[in-house]
Structure 1
Amino acid sequence: MNRLPPWCLGLATLLVLTVACLWNYDPPVAGTQRWGIVFPSPLPVGTSEPILVTGQTGAGDFLVVRYVSESSIVFAYDSWGHGGPSSSPIVVPPGAHHRLAIDLPSLSAVPGKIEAEAQLVRVVFDGTVVLDAKVAFHSSRIPRVSFGRNPLGGTSCGPEFHGQLLRENGRSLLSNPHAVDTPAERFFTWLQLDPWQFVVIALTSLAVAWTWRARCRGTRPAAAALVSALTATARSHRAFLFATLLCSAAFTSVLTSGTFRVIYPETFCNFYDFQALSLLQGRLDVPEESLQEEAFVYAGKIYGYFGVTPALIRIPFVIFGLAFGELSRAAMLLYYAATLLAAYLILLDATRLLRPDRPRPATWQTMLFTAHVGLGSTVFFLGSRAYIYHEAILCGIMFAVFSCWCALRHLAAPQGRWWLGALALGTLSVHARPPTGLFALTVLGCVAAAHLFRFSPSSRLSSSPSPFRPLAIGALSVFGVLSFNALSYVKFRTFEGCPLRLNVQYTPERLAKIDGQQFHAANLPYGLSSYLLHPNVEITRHFPWLYIGPAVQRQSFPQAKIDFPDRALALPYGMTGLFVLASIAAAWAAVKSPAARLPVLTLWAAAVPVSVAMFAAIATSERYTGDFCPFLFCAAAFGLAAPRWRPLTTAALAAATLWACLLTLAITVHYQGTMVWGVPEDVQKNYRQLRAHVDGFFLGSVPPSR
């Protein structure tokens, strides 16, 4: 086996993967279908039989034939849940051969086309148009087409057609597209319509060949050493792994409403799948069904204001047609666990920097920090609902924290290339959630400024010996932020990141109330109160006992131009431990430890632009507090690493962490059970029953509706 040439193994991999892709490959059946048809003899009067069926159960379209008499038929179209038109009766002699041409709108709504070109069903029978009407239809994202069979169980027809369906060349049509094309036709259709699958397969085959070549050259001990090193690393960081496992289990339970099904078609969660499909086709517009009321319409096309980063991550799945529209839960779980890892990496580096005598955080610090980040912050609240709003924020947080980790490493070692990771990850964060990316790239820009101007022993500013590199890094950081506006220009022909006038929800009257703008200086006091000052926590006698109170009243800020004042917990009350660590403890560290001074000041300075943007925005919401999480996680790590914690301060921090975790859990389950739209009715019903049972046990009463 070791003598097998690498190219042979690579070629074998290519062939096996190609056959695997083609094994169940259904070529899209698009365009006009021209067949020969022979009806059964005698005609089964009073029954209906399928001619062409597309889609899936609950979202299918049917073209059927109804036998109305011994010598006449009717063609009928039925879209699941919508119905459809029928033709006039047509006289047909049983057993005769007829010509049939069919156009269905669902046949043009297959991969390779973002949206259908027409909404007309058209049936031509023996050269005569017998049915021509505008109809409802279901997009066939996965090409499921059946000829003469009804595999969906629709009630508009029986299970199968008892006559004959023939191709123009006389070959019989069976129940699926495999019978339509020869193996060679299927292969070349696959290459033409799914070239990205072949590209991925070819790259995978090259990787297998290269790996085998390296193994044959005797690098296996290095692989064994890598496994040994990973095992040792897992042992040394077992406290973090244990805390992450518990946090991830709790997050998954909430995210999936206790089912632990991470592959699931949530409502309003297929936008990124459609965006990935459009990117593969070299375009940015998406079909209307992917955005609903969040659609932005420009030049007759529909776009989203959401960034493309989550769509980029979905591209491999879209290429191979895996779990289309069902990945939001899995993606959010991945982002969540990765966020915990990124925050822990910053804590490790902060501890090594500030406490070289003890370069690893204590077990209690690791457990407490991970628990607060994972259970007592907005990242856990985002698990209340898996849809694109929450996924975008969580994705942005994850990339931003990793970017900050790289930037802080570059701050400590400017000769290295950590800035490349910070720039790439920060840009990805911008294109997931602009505020989080703004913070991450501002951190990198501040690091570049710190390297450009360093304090000399005489306390005067002196230029760095090589100013070009920090200048270039700073400029690239600015370009990374502006890349979101550049992409907006490609879509909307304006550099506004979110041109509200193009959104289908914004009427002229609504735009006039906010002057058509997303940010106003007059909103700064309102935003400051919402996110920092307003004690918006309600404690009641009814389960879950802790609630978010009403939003800050606009009457208190008459000059503010707020479009969407939703409930939000001020940071000192919602993420108490992290806020104290990022402010008071970090300030103490900066004063007492010179090594902490520059990183802490860098993080604080980088927090200013994103804070101003959030305070000036026209909307407030609890989920938007997630935009402050990258700053809180990074600064809190330095606050936790620097001080010499005494029993009293440790107990106070533990109490603050416990409070934040309990509060976050309470508002998360209540938000999921009663407030957010799109949650299955059974989940909300179970929550109402739980509240009634708990309140009945403790109070003997039914909880009021909130």
Structure 2
Amino acid sequence: MITTAARRVWVWHRTPESLWSRRITLAATIVFLLVVSRWRPWDLFDRGGFSTDFYDAQAHAFLRGRLDVPAHIPGPEGFLIDGKTYLYYGPTLAVLRLPFALFGHWADGRLSAVSMVAAFFIACTTTFHLARRVASLLAGGSPRRYAVLVAAVACSPALSLAGWNSVYDETELWAFALFLLTATAALRMWAAPGCHTVLVAVALATATVLTRSSVGIGALAAVGFTGVLLWRRHRRVAVAAGAGAVGGLLLNVAVNLAKFGTLLDLPADRQLLSLQNPARAAWFAGNDGSFFSLRFLPTTVVHYLRPDTVRFERLLPFVRFGPLATEHGSYPLEGNTPASSLPTSATLLFLLAILGVWVIVRRRSWPLAAVLAGALAGAAPTFLIGFVANRYLTDMLPALVVPAAAAVATVALPAGAAGRGVRWLVTVLVVWGTWVNVALAVWTQNLKQPGFTEMRYRVDDAIFGGPPPSVIDLLPASSAPRDGIVAIDGECAGLYIAEQTRWVPLELAEGERRLRGTIESTGTPVIVSAPEGDVHITFADGAATASYTPVDGEPAIGVAVSLGDLPALVDITSDPISGGLRVQVAGRQSLFAFAAPSLAQATITDNLRPTIAADGNTPLCDFLQSRRGGGSSLGARGSA
């Protein structure tokens, strides 16, 4: 069955007019695959990090006849309702994982990346078919024009989602792809009203709303509005489209009621993040317990539509996020993370959409207006969320793709030099969109990776030489500047990078803020005794459990991790800058505590044999210091 479905998708992908679109789709999908797999495509099916197993857990719950999932899977992202933990994601992608869940947990966390690649491929392929459908409606279009629209989508913010293998970006991509499928089906229903076309349109819109409700409500609206237009031509189809749209909405409401007891909104006060964070709980209390408010519109509209949300720098990949959104609303945002904008990272699509709106109005194309209205309805809630994030741009893309399809179908190129200039402009904008979105994806993916920072500064040294840019001395009690600034603490006691107003460690000095060693025996506990408290690693039944007992305070007990064969590696980091103590045993984290005992003054039991890195304590920090001219100073050096 899966093979047959895949063959049908491939046949749908390969049409006589699709050569250029197919080439662009395949090239863009390869780029997406390389980025999401961190340039190692053979690792595509490796188990991902936090959230990549959310849909797998939901699929296993469905097999047990339940909606709730084990609490440890979503962690702080879960919603605690009557003692049970629920995910707030729709069931569509969990249902697609059921065939894998039938055979156990082997696929848990391994399908998210390949699912994202598939969604991106389907979005690009569907764009071609949407362009053809719109061209048929408006009596225009050509294969190369369709390819322009496919390229505009391929180099849009959808490409930047490759930077984070997560349930969040996977959901965004599938909602985008499913909306495009719904739009294509709705226009087909308009052109050939009948039982089959209306069922396909309603089914796709329902799948969209059960993937991401905000975008899906727009998809249902697009089908419903198209049905209204069919009232005079084909009343049965019109009634079926309207009833199907209402039915899809009611199904989404039923799922929400079964989980949370609400119609459409989420009980924000029951999310573990809110239960564990008084400041977040207070924020929701001040916003009527909702994620949404009209008060956020001045902030979100300005940021998502401003043209200056990226910055150039001399470090690879030469483009980074610009400043965070400036708040203009009467109530503060709950989250303000780096984000680009539609004019900046969807430039070609944005310009085509402006032309397309003019075409739709001038031609009085009511079917396109109906689908566009649905796309706008799906994008509207994103502007009302008290959270700014780059991935939310994907919610707005359908509202650009639909009118852009009208533009490529009807707007003719001028003759002569002007036409050649437009072709060059399109090429430049495709290159720009690809560069920007791949750069932002790589930035999102690798900002906290020491190897990425080292590569950037090695290349910079080879090309420019001299003092490294964006490197400063870390001053006591200083807040982190803009993302990407690198700071050196003392004589390389620690090397840090700024991320969202906090310092994240890249390197910590061995014997001072990091202790690595091998466990030689498990007969007695490993004890690392510091003036501020003791770290204990105890052993039982082939597992190790770390704990921290401060001199004054309650002990923190970690989780048991499989020890494996001896000798086993222990990695302890204690960082006063980030304020965290982490203990890993055999490559698995057993303990995290908000503490920073001094490892430089610690004593260690004999059954832990310390090891020293072969390349020295802090090779990256030493390299940056050598470029800066030696030891640290009291003031900041380097350029931020």
**TM-score in terms of structure 1 length:** 0.61
**Residue 163 of structure 2: which of 361, 376, 384 is its match?**
384
Q: CA deviation at 1:534?
A: 5.9
Match of 1:689? 454
Q: Distance in 2 between matches of 1:242 and 1:553?
A: 40
Matches within 5 A, 1:57-72: none
Match of 1:573? 344
SS at match of 1:288: coil
Match of 1:105? none
Match of 2:82? 299
Q: CA deviation at 1:487?
A: 0.6
Q: Distance in 1 between matches of 2:368 and 2:299?
A: 27
Does residue 185 of structure 2 align to residue 406 of structure 1? yes
Does residue 151 of structure 2 align to residue 371 of structure 1? yes
**Residue 253 of structure 1: which of 34, 40, 43 is its match?**
34
Q: CA deviation at 1:234?
A: 5.4
Does residue 409 of structure 2 align to residue 641 of structure 1? yes
Q: Distance in 2 between matches of 1:476 and 1:427?
A: 8
Q: Distance in 2 between matches of 1:466 and 1:236?
A: 31
Q: Distance in 2 between matches of 1:686 and 1:366?
A: 40
Q: Distance in 2 between matches of 1:377 and 1:230?
A: 25
Does residue 128 of structure 2 align to residue 344 of structure 1? yes
Contact 1:278 1:285 in 2 (8 A): yes
Q: Distance in 2 between matches of 1:604 and 1:299?
A: 41
Cα RMSD between the aligned structures?
Answer: 2.7
Contact 1:392 1:432 in 2 (8 A): yes
Contact 2:175 2:208 in 1 (8 A): yes
Q: Could you tell me which amino acid in structure 2 is paired with residue 372 of structure 1?
A: A
Q: Distance in 2 between matches of 1:483 and 1:550?
A: 41
Does residue 113 of structure 2 align to residue 329 of structure 1? yes
**Residue 357 of structure 2: which of 546, 570, 587 is its match?**
587
Contact 1:346 1:405 in 2 (8 A): yes
Higher mean C-alpha deviation, range 466-475 or range 565-574: 466-475
SS at match of 1:272: helix
SS at match of 2:69: coil
Deviations 1:127-170 (A, max 9, x none): xxxxxxxxxxxxxxxxxxxxxxxxxxxxxxxxxxxxxxxxxxxx
Does residue 326 of structure 2 align to residue 560 of structure 1? no
Contact 1:368 1:654 in 2 (8 A): no
**Residue 394 of structure 1: which of 160, 165, 173 is its match?**
173
Match of 1:441? 220
Q: Distance in 1 between matches of 2:148 and 2:73?
A: 40
Q: Given the superposition, is the C-alpha separation of residues 320 and 353 from structure 1 closer, same or farther in structure 2, using an over 3 Å criterion?
A: same
Contact 2:22 2:125 in 1 (8 A): no
Does residue 436 of structure 2 align to residue 656 of structure 1? no
SS at match of 2:333: coil
SS at match of 2:57: helix
Q: Distance in 1 between matches of 2:428 and 2:345?
A: 13
Q: CA deviation at 1:373?
A: 1.5
Deviations 1:480-503 (A, max 9, x none): 234323211101222243211110
Q: Could you tell me which amino acid in structure 2 is paired with residue 314 of structure 1?
A: R
Contact 2:45 2:113 in 1 (8 A): yes
Q: Could you tell me which amino acid in structure 1 is paired with residue 29 of structure 2?
A: S
Q: Given the superposition, is the C-alpha separation of residues 446 and 561 from structure 1 closer, same or farther in structure 2, using an over 3 Å criterion?
A: farther
Greater CA radius of gyration, 1 or 2?
Answer: 1
Q: CA deviation at 1:664?
A: 0.9
- Structure 2 segments unaligned to the other structure (5+ residues): 471-483, 486-640
Contact 2:146 2:408 in 1 (8 A): no
Q: CA deviation at 1:515?
A: 2.8
- Structure 1 segments unaligned to the other structure (5+ residues): 1-203, 212-225, 453-463, 676-683
Q: Distance in 1 between matches of 2:431 and 2:90?
A: 34
Match of 1:186? none
Q: Could you tell me which amino acid in structure 1 is paired with residue 27 of structure 2?
A: L
Q: Distance in 2 between matches of 1:608 and 1:242?
A: 30
Higher mean C-alpha deviation, range 230-239 or range 498-507: 230-239
Q: Could you tell me which amino acid in structure 1 is paired with residue 34 of structure 2?
A: S
Q: Distance in 1 between matches of 2:386 and 2:219?
A: 23
Does residue 386 of structure 2 align to residue 627 of structure 1? no
Higher mean C-alpha deviation, range 631-640 or range 485-494: 631-640
**Residue 512 of structure 1: which of 264, 285, 292 is its match?**
285
Matched positions, count = 455
**Residue 525 of structure 1: which of 281, 286, 298 is its match?**
298
Match of 1:473? 241
Deviations 1:665-689 (A, max 9, x none): 11111111116xxxxxxxx233212
Q: Given the superposition, is the C-alpha separation of residues 468 and 243 from structure 1 closer, same or farther in structure 2, using an over 3 Å criterion?
A: closer
Deviations 1:347-403 (A, max 9, x none): 1222333335xx6422xx3443333322x2122111111111111111111111111
Does residue 138 of structure 2 align to residue 354 of structure 1? yes
Q: Could you tell me which amino acid in structure 1 is paired with residue 376 of structure 2?
A: V
Q: CA deviation at 1:263?
A: 1.0
Match of 2:67? 284
Q: CA deviation at 1:578?
A: 0.5
Match of 1:501? 269
Q: Could you tell me which amino acid in structure 1 is paired with residue 399 of structure 2?
A: F
Matches within 5 A, 1:407-426: 407-415=186-194, 417-426=196-205
SS at match of 2:97: helix
Q: Distance in 2 between matches of 1:353 and 1:496?
A: 35
Does residue 318 of structure 2 align to residue 545 of structure 1? yes
Provide the identity percentage. 26
Q: Distance in 1 between matches of 2:268 and 2:291?
A: 8
Matches within 5 A, 1:576-615: 576-583=347-354, 585-590=355-360, 593=363, 597-615=365-383
Q: Distance in 2 between matches of 1:316 and 1:399?
A: 21
Match of 1:264? 46
Does residue 16 of structure 2 align to residue 243 of structure 1? no
Q: Given the superposition, is the C-alpha separation of residues 589 and 516 from structure 1 closer, same or farther in structure 2, using an over 3 Å criterion?
A: same
Q: Could you tell me which amino acid in structure 2 is paired with residue 489 of structure 1?
A: L
SS at match of 1:568: coil
Contact 1:536 1:548 in 2 (8 A): yes
